[in-house]
Amino acid sequence: MFDPLPPPITKDNRDIAWEVALAYRRTSRAAKAAGASPPECEEAAVDAAMRKYREFDPDAPSNCHDASGVVLAMVGDAILADTYWFWHGPDA
């Protein structure tokens, strides 16, 4: 059975996790600047992060529910790793 939650960010998956988190952050900011509602910002951000995840990992779950669980875990780990950078850092 597939476990939808990935292990915590490690040295091996850190680059993918940061890219996924950046896609989430950039899209969320862009949607907010365009006047989207908070749920619309979240939907756009998750969609962008899932596209980035699938770009880096061709073995990513094809099921959207499982993939979104992995992506949100990566974003959550990035936020916990450096909260200030994630929400207030430059758009790297």
- Burial-class residue 33 by CB neighbours within 10 Å (0-12, 13-18, 19+): exposed
Average pLDDT of the segment spanning 6-28: 77
Average pLDDT of the segment spanning 51-73: 85
Q: Sorting pLDDT into bands at 50, 70 and 90, what band is 87?
A: confident
pTM above 0.85, yes or no: no
Alpha-carbon distance of 73 to 9, in angstroms, equals: 9
Contact, 28 vs 41, CB < 8 A? yes
